[in-house]
Amino acid sequence: MDIQQIYQKTGYLDGNFRLFHIIDQTRKVFNYHYHDFHKIVIFLQGNVSYVIEGMQYTVQPNDIILIQAGEIHKPIIHDHSVYDRIIIYVAEDFFEQSRKDGSDLFQCFQKSRKQHSGLIRIPNWENTPLAAVCRDLAVSYQCREYASDLYQKVKFTEFLILINRLTAQESFRVTDAVTANPVIQNILKYINDHLTEEDLSIDRIAREAYLNRSYLMHLFKAETGYTIGKYISEKRLFLARSYISKGMSVTDACYHSGFKNYTTFYYAYKNKYGASPTQKPNQEL
């Protein structure tokens, strides 16, 4: 799971969803990265914090972390304790099919983001149906019996149904981040709201935030771990790739995602995904 370059797109997905049960016995260092698909982490054991888009969470056993496609994140491993978790990659097609079937299973992601958090902590965990389903998911990773893939899909669908029922309750509240600088959160929101505008610049962001340019750059890097320029570039590349996957021409995807220059976009895209925008990218980087 280690990655070599900061902000790298990691992992690959060759179906609608993919499940891993991963146990690290030694301490690892993870860099910031993102995925082209949605990600769910069911945290089981360890001394770990999770950073998602500048917000840091201290996780506890049985916490559920929801990470949307394109969100830059990383775990921070604090010591040599065993780090045990279930990780699930979910393609947008999986949720699109659920919508066609009459149940939008992506609503849990949307509800958590409306409350400005990606962490779900459930009181009295062991007494909930989710506890049993998560145990079944962990077991299903090693299962090789008849129809094991279908069984895993059934259990994962049940997991999503239960999560969505929970988050649909009026009393539901996500778990707040331990650290989340409101200035940085406003800056991140501003960047993402204006991502496709060509004149989005550090100077413009500094003016909007009423901050000195140099101080803004220092604060952003200190709070998030990455530069403003790199953050904007990564977000635009992800958006362009999404446009292309939906059938938009490469040229239109370039300019609709906020790039001013096609050549700059072309080489940034090729460097990021290992293939030109007109080619099928490498599945795993």
The predicted structure's pLDDT at residue 54: 84
**Which strands make up the sheet holding 33-34, listed edge to edge?**
8-9, 33-34, 73-77, 48-52, 55-58
Contact between 62 and 119 under an 8 Å Cβ cutoff? The reply is no
The predicted structure's pLDDT at residue 130: 92
- Confidence grade of residue 283 (pLDDT, cut at 50, 70, 90): very low
The predicted structure's pLDDT at residue 285: 32
Please name every residue paired with 51 in a beta bridge, in sequence order, or none if there are none. 56, 74
Is the pLDDT at 282 greater than 80? The verdict is: no
Contact between 61 and 100 under an 8 Å Cβ cutoff? The reply is no
Q: How many CA atoms lie within 13 A of 81 on its CB side?
A: 14
Q: Which of 125, 83, 78, 98 is nearest to 38 (CA)?
A: 98
Question: Rounded to two decimals, what is the model's pTM?
Answer: 0.83
* Cα torsion 115, 119, 124, 127: sign: positive
The predicted structure's pLDDT at residue 10: 53
What mean pLDDT is predicted for residues 138-150?
Answer: 89
Q: How far apart are CA 195 and CA 235, in angstroms?
A: 8
Percentage of the residues of the chain whose pLDDT score is greater than 90: 61
Of 141-145, 153-157, 203-207, 234-238, least confident by mean pLDDT is 141-145
User: Please, what are the domains in the chain?
Assistant: 8-168 (2.60.120.280), 183-273 (1.10.10.60)
Q: Which of 53, 84, 78 is nearest to 67 (CA)?
A: 53
Q: How far apart are CA 256 and CA 243, in angstroms?
A: 9
What mean pLDDT is predicted for residues 229-240?
Answer: 92
Q: How many CB atoms lie within 10 A of CB 104?
A: 14
The predicted structure's pLDDT at residue 243: 92
Contact between 101 and 120 under an 8 Å Cβ cutoff? The reply is no
| Helices 182-193, 213-224: crossing angle, 10 deg rounding | 100
The predicted structure's pLDDT at residue 226: 80
User: Rg of the chain over CA atoms, in angstroms?
Assistant: 19
* Cα torsion 172, 175, 180, 184: sign: negative
The predicted structure's pLDDT at residue 187: 93
Of 142-146, 170-174, 250-254, least confident by mean pLDDT is 170-174
Higher pLDDT residue, 240 or 1? 240
What mean pLDDT is predicted for residues 209-236?
Answer: 90
Render pLDDT for 165-220 as a digit per residue (tens, 0 to 9). Answer: 999 988 888 887 777 788 988 999 999 999 999 899 999 999 999 999 999 999 99
What mean pLDDT is predicted for residues 87-114?
Answer: 93
Q: How far apart are CA 166 and CA 173, in angstroms?
A: 10
Q: What is the mean pLDDT of the chain?
A: 88
Is the pLDDT at 254 greater than 90? The verdict is: yes
The predicted structure's pLDDT at residue 5: 37
* Residue 49 Cα distances to 46, 111, 281, angstroms: 9, 22, 32
Tokens of 198: 């060509």
